[in-house]
Amino acid sequence: RRPAGGAAQRGAQRVRARLAGLDLHQVADFAEAEPGEAAVSQRGECHPGRHFMVERIYRRLSSSSNISVPPNAGLDDWCFDIFELNEASDNHAMKFVGYELLHKYDLINKFKINTNVLENFLYKLEEGYSKWANPYHNLVHGADVAQTCHFIMSSSKLVNWLTDLEIFATIVAALVHDYEHTGTTNSFHVNTGSDLALLYNDKGVLENYHVSAVFRLLREEDYNILTGLSREEYKEFRALVIDMVPQYGHEPLTFSQQIKNMKQLLSMPEK
């Protein structure tokens, strides 16, 4: 898929329009169920010192990368404008969305993620998304999908049914799901017999590549945000990301896909 200029904006609008048209009753089933723990928005309020901490970290990020975005970036809103954030952050939307989401769910703390390493990792993701000057599958798209994913998880309260590790994997999978996208389709790779098509035997070429490239990156000390995970947690995290990335793949994120995915994840029977 390689639409012409302005396509990124149209693409995002299409995702939103599509999501808006989907059956929200499915979500209500989850929303009405007994929650396992407090909703996301309430979690934040439990920690009075957090706001200060966020500001401090933002300041640190700002000083190291010239980013100046207010701590309240509006990520919980349906109308969140990823293009505005990208402009305000001087083309670092992914860094901010990634950081903010992991922080919002308290995952940086829970999985003992070194913030310098996290910043390196997010920076590297941005670099990867920018590698092929891709007009649609760029860092704005990756950040947008992660924010949409967060919106669905939190507004539907699906999040209450997920473990911290599952939330962590879901956010990371969304962020990385088009990492180093070549701007060409799987069919193009297969039909031209590209190196990637040969490497992955024509099967889920790009999806395999995105995941593989990210786990290679995570193997490097400077970018490994998973050092706080136990061996078992790492195995589960990896399996989840491998499972989820193709779900976000070439078709823009669809809601029913997500619900199906989550249900599978929770081993809940379909109604």
Our CB check for Zn ion shows the closer of 166 and 178 to be 178
Active site residues: 137
**Does 92 show up as a binding residue in the annotation?**
no
Task: Please give the size of the binding site for Zn ion, defined by CB under 5 A.
Answer: 1
Structure tokens given for 223? 């970018």
The H or E element that residue 235 is part of is: helix 231-248
DSSP string, 128-184: HHHTTT-SSSSHHHHHHHHHHHHHHHHHTTGGGGS-HHHHHHHHHHHHHTTTT--SS
Binding segment for Zn ion among 65-73, 94-102, 148-156, 176-184 (CB under 5 A)? 176-184
Q: What is the CA radius of gyration of the chain?
A: 18
Residue 126 near Zn ion by CB under 5 A: no
Task: Evaluate the CA torsion angle 150, 238, 246, 134 in order and state its sign.
Answer: positive
Residue 180 near Zn ion by CB under 5 A: no
Binding segment for Zn ion among 55-63, 173-181, 238-246, 257-265 (CB under 5 A)? 173-181
Residue 178 near Zn ion by CB under 5 A: yes
State how far the Cα of 41 lies from the Cα of 203, in Å rounded to an integer: 40
Our CB check for Zn ion shows the closer of 92 and 137 to be 137
Binding segment for Zn ion among 42-50, 124-132, 175-183, 188-196 (CB under 5 A)? 175-183
Binding site residues, Zn ion, CB under 5 A: 178
